[in-house]
């Protein structure tokens, strides 16, 4: 019989096993911080600062307009299609204040992807950038969209950047978009000049009412809208705050570089910062040099990120020119964190970088390593959050497996989604008796630390052997010439599948395939060693930096189909 929640013995005394959660909706985070810290800087954006009082006032003004002029009622969906900007924060809380449901939308979406998400969510309005207005306008007739609220990067830039930026934008995008405040088009800059309108308060049941539709990545088919309630988001933000117990409300500075339209950036960066009244240093996109300069100048203490962000910084030739010593804590999410990257980043910053784990369906965090007093285990995703239960079950029987045995990770807790939007069958497949079936394969050790070996879908079966890409990637990351790597199973006539490694080398490297292969053979059983290596300048990634293994697999299949057609 497995011991129930063995990980609780590993908790430092500062982290309780169970927590109390606010019964207020998510938007109260902003109202509370504005009351307690009105003059504290809430946002730093490319040289311009904004206090919590200003942030709250703009949010309330916008929420009133959404109700009175756009007609947003409780439960109406409003899409936000913005990079990390002050407007993304204002828009998010304004939609919730108006009673709406936020639909996070990736600004990089193509017309086809955008049309699908707007139709699927039934969004009534969208908040977007001026340069994205033509794309939104084009798909609008095919959707239920009635209103487009437009903003511009320059609207929140300091003088003289606000005057120069339109010229930079024209050079970057090749277009100048002029939108008038009329008809179905609304300018946020005009809205925020208007007299505040009276807000109608909505009765919100945090346990039942949906705050957010977070669309999953869609790497295995059409994206699904994950319904996250106010309680889901409150629970995950509250638990994240307890996890970083050395950080104090009103005292921290957070680097806001992980996209807020991604569930990890939204919760661990935006919501946590607003709840704790942290100053958010917002960056609209990741650029290694800009990030180094920003850390040097703005001195952030908290740096939520993704492995590709940390790898990008570590491999920048000028990293030693910048002081990164302000960084105290980093939780890495969205993809597995190579041990080599963790060690190097901690050496350079003297801060703590730990791996966490989560899913869109879990708001997103379920597990993390301890930052300070508890034991950190390299290669582990850590232990479950407070009030979170997790177990490893057999793929064959569905029963819990012994300690150390690989099976599917299933999770239960207050952060687990209500279900998929308009998809009862898929909800029933993923949620069973309150347990979320993650589709990730892993195991638990005797202390209650969990380890992910891979996605169920990514496991390679070659010549009858089960091979986990992550294990091979960890070995290849230790090679001094490897900057990034992803391993995938590709079709093989003899073995069924074979192991292929896609590698980005560090600048100036002249290492050969044979040298990489010899290195792999030292540390891996023969059947795990990649049979094919391909060097690339870059790897396909999502906006948050997760490497798209599936798109590489699809590419291989297409190549194989094309070859078969040639020989047919």
Give the count of alpha carbons within 13 A of 24, CB side only.
11
Would 295 be classed as within a structural domain?
Answer: yes
Does 121 share its domain with 211?
A: yes
**Looking at residue 2, what is its pLDDT?**
66
CATH code, 412: 3.40.50.12780
CATH code, 503: 3.30.300.30
| Position 437 confidence tier, pLDDT thresholds 50, 70, 90 | very high
Chain segment 506-528, per-residue pLDDT in tens: 999 989 999 999 999 998 888 89
Domain count, the chain: 3
**Looking at residue 396, what is its pLDDT?**
87
Q: How large is the average pLDDT for residues 63-81? A: 97
Does 48 share its domain with 68?
A: yes
Assess whether pLDDT exceeds 50 at residue 182: yes
Dihedral sign for Cα 374, 375, 379, 385, please.
negative
| Residues paired with 80 in a beta bridge | 104, 127
Does 389 share its domain with 292?
A: yes
Would 108 be classed as within a structural domain?
Answer: yes
Would 337 be classed as within a structural domain?
Answer: yes
Assess whether pLDDT exceeds 70 at residue 455: yes
Q: How large is the average pLDDT for residues 296-316? A: 94
Assess whether pLDDT exceeds 90 at residue 222: no
Does 404 share its domain with 529?
A: no
Assess whether pLDDT exceeds 90 at residue 553: no
Chain segment 532-544, per-residue pLDDT in tens: 999 999 999 887 7
pTM score of the predicted model = 0.85
Q: Which residues contact 469 (CB under 8 A, 6 or more apart)?
A: 454, 458, 459, 460, 486, 487, 488, 489, 499, 549
Out of 228, 258, 277, a domain closes at 228
- Hey, what are 513's tokens? 């395939």
Out of 456, 483, 502, a domain closes at 456
Does 178 share its domain with 35?
A: yes
| Residues paired with 391 in a beta bridge | 410
Dihedral sign for Cα 203, 205, 208, 212, please.
positive
Does 384 share its domain with 466?
A: no
Would 413 be classed as within a structural domain?
Answer: yes
Instruction: Compute CA distances 21 → 140, 229, 235, 331, 530, whole Å.
Output: 39, 13, 6, 22, 48
Chain segment 85-142, per-residue pLDDT in tens: 999 999 999 999 999 999 999 898 889 889 999 999 999 999 999 999 999 999 999 9
549 lies in which domain range? 458-567
Does 443 share its domain with 545?
A: no
Out of 210, 228, 246, a domain closes at 228
| Residues paired with 368 in a beta bridge | 356, 383
Provide the 10 A C-beta neighbour count for residue 404: 11
**Looking at residue 1, what is its pLDDT?**
54
Would 144 be classed as within a structural domain?
Answer: yes
Assess whether pLDDT exceeds 70 at residue 28: yes
Share of the chain above pLDDT 90, in %: 75
| Position 220 confidence tier, pLDDT thresholds 50, 70, 90 | very low
Assess whether pLDDT exceeds 60 at residue 347: yes
| Helix H or strand E segment including 29 | helix 28-36
Does 159 share its domain with 218?
A: yes
Average predicted confidence (pLDDT) for the chain = 92
Would 253 be classed as within a structural domain?
Answer: no
Does 390 share its domain with 490?
A: no
For every residue of 391-406, DSSP letters joined together read: EEE-TTT-SBPPTT--
Would 279 be classed as within a structural domain?
Answer: no
Does 99 share its domain with 190?
A: yes
- Backbone torsions φ then ψ of 164, nearest 5 degrees: -80, -35
Q: CA 257, CA 261: separation in Å to the nearest integer?
A: 11
Chain segment 254-278, per-residue pLDDT in tens: 999 999 999 999 999 999 999 999 9
For every residue of 251-284, DSSP letters joined together read: T-EEEE-S-TTSHHIIIIIIIHHHHTTPEEEE-S
Q: Return the closest-CA partner of residue 126 out of 109, 239, 533.
A: 109
- Hey, what are 109's tokens? 């979406």
CATH code, 182: 3.40.50.980
Would 234 be classed as within a structural domain?
Answer: no
Does 110 share its domain with 195?
A: yes
Assess whether pLDDT exceeds 60 at residue 219: no
- The number of angstroms, rounded, from the C-alpha of 160 to the middle of its chain's C-alpha atoms is 33
Does 334 share its domain with 387?
A: yes
């Amino acid at each position: 019989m497995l011991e129930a929640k063995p990980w609780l013995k590993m908790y430092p005394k500062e982290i309780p096993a169970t927590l109390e959660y606010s019964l207020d909706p998510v938007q109260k985070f902003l109202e509370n911080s504005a009351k307690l810290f009105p003059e504290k800087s809430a946002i730093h954006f490319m040289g311009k600062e904004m206090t919590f009082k200003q942030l709250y006032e703009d949010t309330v003004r916008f929420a009133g307009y959404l109700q009175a002029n756009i007609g947003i009622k409780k439960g109406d969906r409003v899409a936000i299609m913005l990079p990390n900007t002050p407007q993304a924060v204002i828009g998010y809380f304004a939609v919730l204040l108006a009673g709406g449901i936020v639909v996070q939308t990736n600004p990089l979406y193509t017309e086809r992807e955008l049309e699908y998400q707007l139709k699927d969510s039934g969004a009534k309005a969208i908040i977007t950038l001026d340069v994205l207005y033509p794309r939104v306008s084009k798909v609008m007739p095919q959707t239920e969209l009635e209103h487009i609220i437009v903003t511009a990067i320059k609207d929140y830039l300091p003088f003289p950047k606000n005057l120069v930026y339109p010229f930079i934008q024209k050079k970057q995008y090749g277009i100048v978009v002029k939108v008038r405040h009329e008809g179905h088009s609304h300018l946020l800059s005009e809205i925020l000049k208007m007299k505040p309108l009276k807000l109608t308060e909505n009765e919100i049941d945090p346990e039942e009412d949906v705050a957010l539709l977070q669309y999953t990545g869609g790497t295995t088919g059409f994206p699904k809208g994950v319904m996250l309630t106010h309680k889901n988001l409150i629970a995950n933000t509250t638990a994240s705050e307890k996890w970083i117990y050395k950080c104090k409300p009103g005292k921290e500075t957070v680097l806001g570089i992980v996209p807020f339209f991604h569930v990890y950036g939204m919760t661990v960066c935006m919501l946590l910062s607003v709840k704790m009244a942290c100053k958010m240093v917002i960056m609209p996109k990741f650029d290694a040099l800009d990030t180094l300069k920003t850390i040097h100048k703005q001195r952030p203490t908290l740096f939520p990120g993704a492995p590709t962000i940390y790898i990008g910084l570590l491999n920048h030739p000028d990293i030693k020119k910048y002081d990164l010593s302000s960084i105290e804590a980093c939780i890495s999410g969205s993809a597995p964190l190579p041990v080599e990257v963790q060690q190097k980043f901690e050496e350079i910053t003297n801060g703590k970088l730990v791996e966490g784990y989560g899913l869109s369906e879990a708001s997103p965090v379920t597990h993390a390593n301890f930052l300070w007093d508890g034991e950190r285990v390299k290669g582990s995703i850590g232990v479950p959050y407070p009030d979170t239960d997790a177990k490893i079950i057999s793929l064959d029987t569905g029963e819990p497996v012994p300690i150390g045995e690989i099976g599917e990770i299933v999770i239960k807790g207050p952060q687990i989604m209500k279900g998929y939007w308009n998809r009862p069958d898929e909800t029933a497949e993923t949620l069973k008796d309150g347990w979320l079936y993650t589709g990730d394969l892993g195991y638990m050790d005797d202390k209650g630390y969990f380890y992910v070996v891979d996605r169920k879908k990514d496991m390679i079966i070659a010549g009858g052997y089960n091979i986990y890409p992550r294990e091979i990637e960890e070995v290849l990351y230790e090679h001094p010439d490897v900057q990034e790597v992803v391993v995938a199973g590709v079709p093989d006539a003899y073995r069924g599948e074979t192991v292929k490694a896609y590698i980005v080398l560090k600048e100036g490297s002249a290492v050969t395939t044979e040298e990489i292969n010899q290195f792999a053979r030292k540390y891996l059983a023969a059947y795990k060693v990649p049979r094919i290596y391909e060097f690339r300048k870059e790897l396909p990634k999502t906006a948050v930096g997760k490497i798209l293994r599936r798109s590489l697999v699809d590419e291989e299949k297409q190549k194989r189909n094309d070859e078969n057609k040639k020989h047919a």
